């Protein structure tokens, strides 16, 4: 593929994030939006290889907790979708299959918007005794379908990549322990692997998952100041067990409805955060473990120096083989484009390390190494290259982590009254921590007022598992009644 310098990013991230994001998605070969049906995109190889790594790490983490993989059909019976009263609220968002060819179906079915309505009727057949529990199951590398009116690659779509766990327990205590394990999964994958910082919230009662007793979400901030919900985990209590008749015989030889949790780490949303938070004006930046190509080797050759060129090419090929054998994903870019075009191309794609080999390097038996997160090179002896690559790889991740944390912390502020809240959201955006009256349904009226007064800000929730304490005398920013919670608010996607 030719590398055209004119195809770089033409806008600055901090001046026009929306356009910058769109250009990175397309020019860094993450997705093609020209499929022709709104909300359906083509995942291009570079982007899909990153997404596969996200899946890899999630699968490894949940299997360490005892989750077992399975695969359910894409179809959901209409009658099953309607069985859980609150969850049936998904119905307006689903795509219905009503005919096969010219023949009308006896019972139409939906393309899966999420897994509960198709998985739980089967769970009612699988489990009979408390001895069979706990059960932890998951499905991965699947798509779900929702009729979103506003779509954007990796943020909202009508078809998007999905991962879900569905767990069954004898007691509520076991279910709550699983929710803490879900939080640890977010820490291990979203933070430690993708380097995306977040706060973990308990959502208000009016904004929890349909049919759940409680919902918990890790939320981050995009550079336009909007909240990006990276995942959700739900305490389902016995609500779905009652709707789908999932009962087991207990130790007391009586039938009991089971307790359930479900966990949905957002594959797309994590990808969007990786693009938006880490990227810069040159394009994508990818943590070392996540990168499809971790090291690119670029030969610096000259047409009038044939002998030197041959030595450079030979050395480059040898170095690529050496590093591949050491376990790295390496590309020796010996294509026809200029070294500058190659630098720009691989910077746009976020390759963490670049090794340059020219006549001087060959003569001195050294190579130059540049990392994607800084604008300088360092030289290292070829004999020490593996040790130096390991050091530089760690440095890349440390750079990304430090920048992301600084960015995140600098976008969390506080407000004690409505005017200050509106000013902060207008001038700084991001998360704003405010005193608030109630997280129960009683506080929903203040949430409605918040959205109206701030043109779209929402209550994200209270920190979990350790909620911050309200100071004596603090009043709700919206209704001026006694505040019982400190909540975080932000505009959202």
Burial 226-260 (b: 16+ CB within 10 A, else e): bbbbbbbbbbbbbbbbebbebbbeeeeeeebbbbb
Does the structural domain 11-278 have CATH classification 3.30.930.10? yes
- List, edge to edge, every strand of the sheet that includes 103-111: 75-77, 103-111, 96-100
Q: Looking at the chain, which residues constitute the CATH 3.30.110.30 domain(s)?
A: 412-492
Q: Looking at the chain, which residues constitute the CATH 3.30.930.10 domain(s)?
A: 11-278
Residue 295 has a pLDDT of 98
The CATH-assigned architecture of domain 412-492 is 2-Layer Sandwich (3.30)
Does the structural domain 288-401 have CATH classification 3.40.50.800? yes
Residue 5 has a pLDDT of 42
- Positive or negative, the CA dihedral 97, 98, 104, 106 is positive
* Residue that is written with structure tokens 């770089």 in the block: 8
Round to whole Å and give the CA distance between 160 and 142. 8
3-state secondary structure of 443: helix
3-state secondary structure of 156: strand
Residue 231 has a pLDDT of 98
Q: Which two tokens stand for residue 289?
A: 């473990």
Residue 111 has a pLDDT of 96
Cβ-contact 476, 436 below 8 angstroms:
yes
Residue 305 has a pLDDT of 84
Beta strands in 203-291 (DSSP E): 214-221, 226-229, 231-237, 247-249, 255-257, 259-265
Round to whole Å and give the CA distance between 315 and 215. 56
Q: Which two tokens stand for residue 236?
A: 């389902």
What are the beta bridge partners of residue 100? 103
Q: Which two tokens stand for residue 133?
A: 């529990």
CA-nearest of 412, 16, 461, 405 to 204 is 461
Q: How many residues does the chain have?
A: 493
pLDDT by residue for the chain (493 residues), tens only, comes to: 445 545 799 999 999 999 999 999 999 999 999 999 999 999 999 999 999 999 999 999 999 999 999 999 999 999 998 887 776 666 778 999 999 999 999 889 999 999 999 999 999 999 999 999 999 999 999 999 999 989 999 999 999 999 999 999 999 999 999 999 999 999 999 999 999 999 999 999 999 998 999 999 999 999 999 999 999 999 999 999 999 999 999 999 999 999 999 999 999 999 999 999 999 999 999 999 999 999 999 999 987 888 999 999 999 999 999 999 999 999 999 999 999 999 999 999 999 999 999 999 999 999 999 999 998 999 999 999 999 999 999 999 999 999 999 999 999 999 999 999 999 999 988 999 999 999 999 999 999 999 999 999 999 999 999 999 999 999 999 999 999 999 999 999 9
pTM of the complete model:
0.96
Q: Which two tokens stand for residue 439?
A: 């997280």
* Residue that is written with structure tokens 């767990």 in the block: 167
Round to whole Å and give the CA distance between 345 and 313. 20
Beta strands in 52-169 (DSSP E): 68-69, 75-77, 96-100, 103-111, 135-145, 159-169
Question: Residues 6 or more apart from 151 whose CB is under 8 A from it?
Answer: 38, 39, 157, 158
3-state secondary structure of 19: helix
Question: Which element (helix H / strand E) includes 50?
Answer: helix 45-64
């Amino acid at each position: 593929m030719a590398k055209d310098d004119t195809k770089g990013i033409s806008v600055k991230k901090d001046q026009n994030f929306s356009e910058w994001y769109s250009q990175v998605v397309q020019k860094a070969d993450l997705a093609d939006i020209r499929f022709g049906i709104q909300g359906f995109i083509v995942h291009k190889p570079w982007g899909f290889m990153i997404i596969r790594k996200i899946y890899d790490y999630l699968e490894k983490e949940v299997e360490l907790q005892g989750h077992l993989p399975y695969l359910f059909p894409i179809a959901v019976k209409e009658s099953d979708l309607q069985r859980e009263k609150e969850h049936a609220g998904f119905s307006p968002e689903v795509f219905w299959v009503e005919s096969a060819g010219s023949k009308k179906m006896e019972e139409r079915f939906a393309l899966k918007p999420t897994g509960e309505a198709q998985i739980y009727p089967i769970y009612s057949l699988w489990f009979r005794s408390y001895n069979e529990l706990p059960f932890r199951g998951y499905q991965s590398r699947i798509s779900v379908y929702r009729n979103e009116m506003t779509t954007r690659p990796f943020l909202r779509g009508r078809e998007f990549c999905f991962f879900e766990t569905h767990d069954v327990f004898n007691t509520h205590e076991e279910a709550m322990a699983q929710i803490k394990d879900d939080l640890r999964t977010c820490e291990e994958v979203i933070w430690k692997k993708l380097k995306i910082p977040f706060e973990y919230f308990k959502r208000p009662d009016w904004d929890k998952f349909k049919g759940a007793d409680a919902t918990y979400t890790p939320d981050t901030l995009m550079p336009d100041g909007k909240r990006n919900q990276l995942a959700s985990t739900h305490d389902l209590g016995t609500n779905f067990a009652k709707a789908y008749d999932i009962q087991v015989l207990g130790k007391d030889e009586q039938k009991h409805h089971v307790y359930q949790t479900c966990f949905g780490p957002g594959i797309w949303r994590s990808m969007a955060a990786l693009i938006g938070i880490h990227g810069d004006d040159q394009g994508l930046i990818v943590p070392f473990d996540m990168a499809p190509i971790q090291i690119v080797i670029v030969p610096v050759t000259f047409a009038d120096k044939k002998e030197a060129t041959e030595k450079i090419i030979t050395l480059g090929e040898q170095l690529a083989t050496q590093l591949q054998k050491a376990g790295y994903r390496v590309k020796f870019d010996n294509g026809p484009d200029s070294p500058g075009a190659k630098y720009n191309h691989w910077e746009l794609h976020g390759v963490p390390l670049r090794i340059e080999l020219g006549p001087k390097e060959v003569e001195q038996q050294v190579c130059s190494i540049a990392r994607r997160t800084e604008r300088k090179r360092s030289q290292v002896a070829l004999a020490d290259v593996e040790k130096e690559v390991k050091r530089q790889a760690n440095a890349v991740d440390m750079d990304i982590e430090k920048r992301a944390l600084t960015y995140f912390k600098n976008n969390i502020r506080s407000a004690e009254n409505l005017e200050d809240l509106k000013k902060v959201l207008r001038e700084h955006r991001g998360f704003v921590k405010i005193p608030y009256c109630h997280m129960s349904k009683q506080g929903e009226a203040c949430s409605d007022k918040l959205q109206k007064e701030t043109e779209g800000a929402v209550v994200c929730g209270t920190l979990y598992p350790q909620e911050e304490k309200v100071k004596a005398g603090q009043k709700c920013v919206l209704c001026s009644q006694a505040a019982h919670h400190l909540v975080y608010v932000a505009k959202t996607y």
